[in-house]
Amino acid sequence: MVMTEAAWLCHEDLKQVYIFQDKLSQIVRENNSKRYDFFIHYIAEKSQRIPGIITLTTTQKFIFTNLQNKILINCDFSEIKPYALSLYLKEELPWKGNFVLKPETSRCFKIQRKGEAFVNNPDYFCVFHGKSDIKMKYDYNIIQARYQAEMYSNKLNLRLQAKALSDSLDKIKKLSGNADVDSDTLLPIKTQVRNEYFILRHKLLCFVHLDKMKKEEFEKHLAKSKEKIIKSVCKGIEICEKAVMLIKDSGLLPLKGVRERFAMDVQNPFNSLMPKTSLRVELPQGGSVGKKLLEEVAKMKNSKNLNSNLYGIDNLIPESGPGEVPNVTALKKAFNTIVTIRDYNNKKFSRVEQMNQYCRLNSRNNAFDLKRKVALLQYLGENDNFLDYLGDIRRDVFFRKLR
């Protein structure tokens, strides 16, 4: 779509523009859960174009029907790998037919179904006409088609995201105690946290632009909102909350919205090439000390509402700053840190530095970082400087075992 075809709204009061924008965005988000149909061409056997209708149903079905009303694809959203990918500037459309009839890559998007039969056979769809132009009266130029293919991919991805998030939460809910959470399970949760965070961030920015909030207040609200959003997305599942907080604190869930936008986008073509990793999440032994203390206070006070805010107390009492006398929040975090230290009952520490080495998973020898680096070497080529140090690392580990 070119800019002259876009819808424009102008108003002398900026507040009215933001109100309209917010209401329109809300309507769009609500409609994304409803049935959606659009006319498109399916690329069959990488050699021919089959016009038909894609239907995204409310029962989480992806259906493609040709113009003879024959269903060629009928699968659940759970049978499609997250996420759909528009091909513009990402990859080339494979084509085995007549070269003259090959669609321009920018017109197309693809989905990858699960199962061995589809490992090297994704499904490709290309845009040549409007959403409802079944009679193919008006041809779309390359710019219009590119925009439409991107929009269809996003429409599908919003539905795939909802299904993937539900499946991930169900999977994590079944875990108990200390557990390993794999990167594929965490991806939809990370995506949802980012989606909700940027919606809230935009609303807060509107208050700043309207002079209803100072920039200092904006930053404070943003800082508090991250943990609240994580807890909301995880729906009270403790392992989920701890896993997402870990990856956020380690920089694997950036929320700046600037430099990481492409890297964290669900349509990043390199997502499928990344090595699979897992995150070890360790729950406090015997339960959280801070939580138990708060529960005891609730019983003493006969309070019915305090338990609902057990995890939100940090927002009411910020942790004491460096050099200040530790307050309740700082003491609670210190107790929980000590309880979760590995080998706590069997290990004696003579220095604080030794204790710090056991506070986080795989911090000893930086094993986790090394494994990730080695796993990525296949994508970096033989000229990576890290290869020069592998021999030294091996010798260091070998002699350490002999000691």
List beta partners, residue 286. Answer: none
Closest CA to 266 of 83, 13, 393, 134: 83
Tokens of 344: 């706590």
Cα dist from 236 to 229, 230, 231, 281, whole Å: 11, 9, 6, 15
159 close to 56: Cβ distance less than 8 angstroms: yes
What 8-state DSSP symbol labels residue 201? H
What pLDDT shows up at residue 361? 44
List beta partners, residue 54. Answer: 38, 64
Region of 211 (left: φ > 0; alpha: ψ -120 to 50; beta: rest) is left
- CA quadruple 271, 275, 278, 279: dihedral sign: negative
What pLDDT shows up at residue 337? 60
If DSSP codes are grouped into helix, strand and coil, which group holds residue 76? Answer: strand
What pLDDT shows up at residue 144? 94
What pLDDT shows up at residue 229? 94
Tokens of 72: 């060629």
Q: How far apart are CA 304 and CA 145, in angstroms?
A: 57
pLDDT along the chain (403 residues), means of 10: 68 89 87 91 96 95 96 96 92 92 95 92 96 95 95 95 94 86 91 93 90 89 90 92 89 80 83 78 63 59 43 48 60 60 54 58 48 57 57 58 53
pTM: 0.68
